[in-house]
Amino acid sequence: MSVEDLTPREAAGKALADLGDLRSDVVVLVADTGETTRARLFAERHPERFFNVGIAEQAMAAIAAGLAAAGFMPYALTFAAFMERAYEVIRNSIARLALPVRLIGTHAGFSDTYDGPSHQALEDIAIFRVLPNFTVIAPADSCETYKAVLASAEVKGPVYLRVGRDFHIPATCGLYKMFEVGKGYVVIDGRDVAILTTGQMLGFAVEAAKILGEKGVSAAVLHFPTVKPLDLSLLSSYAKEVKGIVTVEEHMVYGGFGSAIAEALASIGPKPMAIMGVKGFGKTAKNPAELYEYFGLTPENIAARAEELVALS
C-alpha cells in the first residue's frame, strides 16, 4: 500500500516505524493513544523503544524532555486537543531548554468530527507558534505527513507536528520529492490573487483556484506546511505582485497561520488580505465535509472571498 492510500495518522505511524529503522536514538511515547494515533506501528517494530505513560500528557511531555536531555530523540503522540493539557511542561521543560522533542498532535482540526468540539483542536497552531525555539508543521495530506515526520528528525530544537485523523485530499503526493522544513511550495502560479494554505485546506484552495480561473481570475495557490518558520522569500515574491491575499486554515483565525502571514506582511509591505478560518469551537458532525460547509471553508467560499479582494483593487 502506498503512502497516498494511508490516512494521515497511519502515515505518521509508518514514518515513525521507518525512522526507527534508520535511527536507534528514536523513542516513541504515547498517552494511552498508541492505537488511535497509529503509533502502534512503531511499537510493533521497535517494542523496546515504545512507552505508554497512560492518560497523563504532562508526564509524557516531562519524560520526553528527560529522554531528550539524555541524548535520545523522543516523539510524543496524543490527540492535538489533549497535547494542550501539557502546555506548562512543554513551555518550561522543552521550549525553554530548546530540547529536541517532537510532539505529534493527531486528530487536529475538524478531523475528529464524531467526538465533537472537546476533541477538535482549533487553537494548537497559535499555542505552539508563540513558544520560542519551536518549529510548527501542518502537513496537507498523508504523503506530506510521512515526509514531514522524517524531515523533523533533522530539526535541532523542538517540533510540533499537526496531523489529521482519516480525511485527506492527496494534493501533495506528486508535488515534490523532498520535504524541506521552512519551505513553502507553489502549487498553482497566478498573478491576480494568492490563496495561501497550511494543513488540510490545500485541496480546497486548488479547487477554488479552478473556480476563479473559469471566471478569468488568475489565482496562485501557495502552500506553507511549515507555519514557523515561514518561507518569507516565497511570500514576499508573490505579495509584491498580486492584488490581494487570502489565507485559509482549519484553525482559529486568532493567532494561527493567517496571523503569521499578516505579521510577516507588516514588514514586507501592506496588502489587501482576508483570513479565513474559525472563530469559535467546533461542532459534532457525521463527517468533516459537514463542518467545512458549516464554517464556510469550501472551495466556493474561498473563491468568492478571493474574488472580492480582486474587485477592491
pLDDT in tens, 242-255: 999 999 999 999 99
**What is the pLDDT at residue 229?**
98
Q: Which of 44, 48, 57, 144 is catalytic?
A: 57
**What is the pLDDT at residue 269?**
86
pLDDT, tens digit, for every residue of 190-201? 999 999 999 999
- Residue 1 clears pLDDT 90, i.e. is over it: no
Average pLDDT, rounded, for the chain: 96
pTM for this one?
0.96
**What is the pLDDT at residue 312?**
84
**What is the pLDDT at residue 235?**
97
**What is the pLDDT at residue 58?**
98
Q: What is the mean pLDDT of residues 49-72?
A: 98
Give percent of the chain above pLDDT 90.
96
pLDDT, tens digit, for every residue of 160-218? 999 999 999 999 999 998 999 999 999 999 999 999 999 999 999 999 999 999 999 99
**What is the pLDDT at residue 177?**
87
pLDDT, tens digit, for every residue of 83-97? 999 999 999 999 999
Distance CA 228, CA 133 (A): 10
CATH topology of domain 3-162: Rossmann fold (3.40.50)
- Residue 222 clears pLDDT 80, i.e. is over it: yes
What stretch(es) of the chain map to CATH 3.40.50.920?
185-312
Task: Out of 3.40.50.920, 3.40.50.720, 3.40.50.2300, 3.30.70.360, select the CATH number for domain 185-312.
Answer: 3.40.50.920
- Residue 313 clears pLDDT 80, i.e. is over it: no
What stretch(es) of the chain map to CATH 3.40.50.970?
3-162
pLDDT, tens digit, for every residue of 138-161? 999 999 999 999 999 999 999 999
User: Which of these ranges, 224-228, 229-233, 270-274, has the smallest mean pLDDT?
Assistant: 270-274
Q: Is 44 a catalytic residue?
A: no
**What is the pLDDT at residue 155?**
97
